[in-house]
Amino acid sequence: MASVKDLFQSADWTKEKHVPVIEILEKDKEKGVRVRVSVGKEIPHPNTTAHHIVWIEVYFQPEGDKYPYHVGRFEFVAHGATVQGPDTSTVYSEPVVEFVFKTQKDGVIFATSYCNIHGLWENSTELKL
Which candidate in 51, 70, 102, 105 is catalytic? 51
- What is the C-alpha separation between 78 and 6, in angstroms, rounded? 29
Which position among 18, 41, 52, 79 bears the catalytic label?
18
Q: Among the options 17, 41, 52, 79, which is catalytic? A: 17
Selecting among 102, 118, 126, 128, the annotated active-site residue is 118
Closest CA to 128 of 29, 46, 45, 11: 29
Q: Which of 76, 67, 91 is nearest to 37 (CA)?
A: 76
**Catalytic: 16?**
yes
> For this structure, is 115 an active site residue?
yes
Q: Which of 26, 31, 45, 122 is catalytic?
A: 45
Q: Which of 41, 52, 57, 115 is catalytic?
A: 115
> DSSP secondary structure string, 22-71?
EEEEEEETTTEEEEEEEESSSSPPP-SSSS-EEEEEEEEEETT-SS-EEE
User: Is 126 one of the annotated active-site residues of the chain?
Assistant: no
Is residue 45 annotated as a catalytic residue, yes or no? yes
Cα–Cα distance between 70 and 92 in angstroms, integer?
A: 26
Query: Would residue 18 show up in a list of annotated catalytic residues for this protein?
Result: yes
Enzyme catalytic residues: 16-18, 45, 51, 115, 118
